[in-house]
């Protein structure tokens, strides 16, 4: 697969496959943030969760560099976080404009 193919698959995963299975990407991240806040005892938002999930997927890639689904998922989490930062309701106290 070429890089553009991974990006297309990540977009499909984010906007079609997972959305059809689980609903809104941002809503699910917001719900996860609420659960993780209680555990971590620190405020989190949807972007925080998306970035931590990308890190989780990157760690999986370290364990199996040939498992392509993990690359696609990491891309989808990062792209979703970027989209939320521009259009969503998530507001992270650690966010900055660049």
Percent of the chain with pLDDT over 70: 89
Please tell me the distance from the alpha carbon of residue 85 to that of residue 55, in angstroms, as a whole number.
Answer: 18
| Closest to 10 in 3D by CA, of 65, 59, 78, 62 | 78
Please tell me the distance from the alpha carbon of residue 30 to that of residue 44, in angstroms, as a whole number.
Answer: 9
Q: What pLDDT, in 10s, does the model give residues 26-53? A: 999 999 999 999 999 999 999 999 999 9
Q: Answer yes or no: is pLDDT of 94 > 50.
A: no
């Amino acid at each position: 697969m070429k890089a553009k193919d991974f990006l297309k698959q990540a977009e499909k995963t984010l906007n079609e496959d997972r959305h059809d299975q689980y609903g809104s990407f941002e809503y699910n991240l917001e719900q996860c943030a609420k659960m993780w806040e209680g555990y971590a005892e620190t405020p989190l938002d949807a972007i925080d969760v998306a970035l931590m999930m990308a890190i989780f997927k990157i760690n999986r890639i370290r364990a199996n560099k040939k498992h392509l689904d993990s690359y696609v998922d990491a891309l989808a989490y990062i792209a979703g976080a970027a989209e939320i930062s521009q259009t969503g309701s998530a507001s992270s106290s650690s966010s900055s404009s660049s």
